Every structure is written in structure tokens, then in C-alpha cells.
Amino acid sequence: MTNEEAELAILRSVDKVTNQKSIATEIGYSVGKVNYVLNGLIVKGLIKAERFINSKSKVQYKYLLTPTGIKEKIALTDKFIEIKKEEYDRLQKQKKEYEEMYDLLNLNKCPSK
């Protein structure tokens, strides 16, 4: 997975979860990777982290998308939609080629009348 994919996954999950461990669990990354990417997003100004104390008296961070972060989330989503459309088109083309190959093989197997 590319860094942009990791960024998009984190941008998509920060409004649903509140700590790095739950983000990591949700998107299937290590906590270290999430920490690294989150810090990069904070430096870029896409996410802001606010400290708060939870009910267990532990300090945690609440991650919020900034307006720039929302704009980047939209741009990355558009980019990945385009990538997936191209991938879909390639798969459809391959499928058609396989179907044509299958039809040709079946025609060769049929006895002539």
C-alpha cells in the first residue's frame, strides 16, 4: 500500500475513532505506521490533534480533519476512484479476452457435422 493510500485510509477513519490503536485496528496497519502517517498529516496541516482526558484519567488525543484535510480527502478519493475505474476497465477487457479464448477452444473441441 502506498503512502497516499495510507493517508486516505487514516483521513477516512479519524472522524470515526479517537486513538491510534483503534485507527490501526480499523485499517489494518501497525500502530507505528499509523503514528508515522498521522504525524505527517498533522505537519501538513490536514489533521489537528487535541488533547483530552478520558474517563480512565488517561490523556488521549482527538483527531480532527482541518478544512485543508477535508479538501485533501476529497482529492485523494477522486484520485483513487479514477485508479479503480481504470483497473475495472482493464479487468473487463481481460475477462472478455478470456471468454473469447474459451469460446475458441470450445469451437475446436466440437466435432464437425
Q: How many domains does the chain have?
A: 1
CATH code of 29's domain: 1.10.10.10
E strands present in the chain: 47-53, 59-65
* Boundaries of domain holding 96: 3-109
Average pLDDT over residues 86-109: 91
CA distance 48 to 64: 5
User: What pLDDT, in 10s, does the model give residues 52-76?
Assistant: 766 565 667 788 899 999 999 999 9
CA distances from 41 to 13, 44, 76, 103 (A): 13, 5, 13, 51
User: What pLDDT, in 10s, does the model give residues 7-63?
Assistant: 999 998 887 766 888 889 988 999 999 999 999 999 999 999 887 766 565 667 788
- What pLDDT, on a 0 to 100 scale, did the predictor assign at position 107? 78
Closest alpha carbon to 62 in 49, 47, 75:
49
